[in-house]
Amino acid sequence: MKLLDAVDSLKIWRRGDQRAPHKPLLLLYALAKELKYSETKFEFSKIEDDLNELLNEFWKPRNDRHSVENPFWRLQTDKIWRVDYDWKLEKKNPDNISASWLRKQNAVGTFSPEISQEIKDNPDVARQAAQKLLDAHFSESLHQSILESTGLFYTGTFSNSKKSSKKARRDPKFRENVLHTYSYRCAICGFSLHMKTMPVGLEAAHIKWHQSGGPDTEDNGLALCATHHRLFDSGVMTLSQDYRIILSKWAYDPRDESNFIDMHQKRILKLPRNKRHLPKMDYINWHRKEVFKEPEIYL
């Protein structure tokens, strides 16, 4: 199995439109290590903390730990990853592997020899695979920080490899329609700036990500400045059913100097005049469930 084919046919746990980015994040992490440090063996006990952190940052925080053993073990079914372990303990039911069992068994994950060779011969394949994983599983505003957090940050080749990755078809008018609906102002802070005739620093955010089936329609869009787009996609903030801004308890200003917290419970600045363009509850609920870092701040 070639790496790019494997990434395209990655078996991802699915239930409705819930997100499950464990395997993509493990793969991005391992590809980064292989590219940067030529690391080919990944000891479970050594990488589990890093993986848990990545899942907390780019998925949802959990009170305890994420089940990092799941992607580590189950990536084997995608035929590009193998887990070797000691035979000190009885082999468990393969569907029920625990983190402590992997630790005790000194479990080590590696890419299959075919994939390792492929990456060695042509490192660009790994970068293309990373770009495919980002396009398929994460909102674009997060790509750069995922690259930085995994250590994959590599500007030049990433922009080239973008061309070769299959992107979901997007409506080119989405941005224009959403910005128009919100009168070219950030729905949260009102930011609005034009450079000659072009709006700058203002983006059309998807409430329900297109990676999870969110459509390119006004009722799934918000005009946001670049900063608020980033905060919205990172789960720092979400919307309530009556279009108030809800902040995550996990976000704070370490200097305690900004008035960031004052935003909590404020209604978004300008709702679309046309009722059909109001953010749809289904999409808000998805964002709250799949992206927002619960719980909300308690004032």
Tell me which residues touch Zn ion (CB under 5 A). 186, 188-189, 191, 225, 228
CB of 208 to Zn ion, least distance (A): 20
CB of 239 to Zn ion, least distance (A): 14
CB of 40 to Zn ion, least distance (A): 44
130 or 186, CB closer to Zn ion? Answer: 186
CB of 262 to Zn ion, least distance (A): 14
CB of 221 to Zn ion, least distance (A): 15
Helix/strand/coil percentages in the chain, nearest 5: 45, 10, 40
147 or 223, CB closer to Zn ion? Answer: 223
Strands (E) across the chain are located at: 41-43, 81-84, 108-111, 194-195, 198-199, 202-206, 221-225, 237-239, 245-247
Which are the contacts of 257, defined by CB distance < 8 A and separation ≥ 6?
none
Q: Are 26 and 72 in contact (CB under 8 A)?
A: yes
What is 160-218 written as a DSSP string? HHGGGS------TTHHHHHHHHTTTS-TTT----EETTEE-SEEEEESS-GGGT--SSG
32 or 225, CB closer to Zn ion? Answer: 225
Half-sphere exposure of 242 (CA within 13 A, CB side): 3
Token code pair at residue 96: 């029920």
191 or 283, CB closer to Zn ion? Answer: 191
34 or 203, CB closer to Zn ion? Answer: 203
Token code pair at residue 105: 């068994």
- The CA–CA distances, whole Å, from 81 to 26, 27, 113, 162, 213 equal 11, 9, 9, 24, 28
| CA-atom Rg of the chain in angstroms | 21
CB of 285 to Zn ion, least distance (A): 23
96 or 259, CB closer to Zn ion? Answer: 259
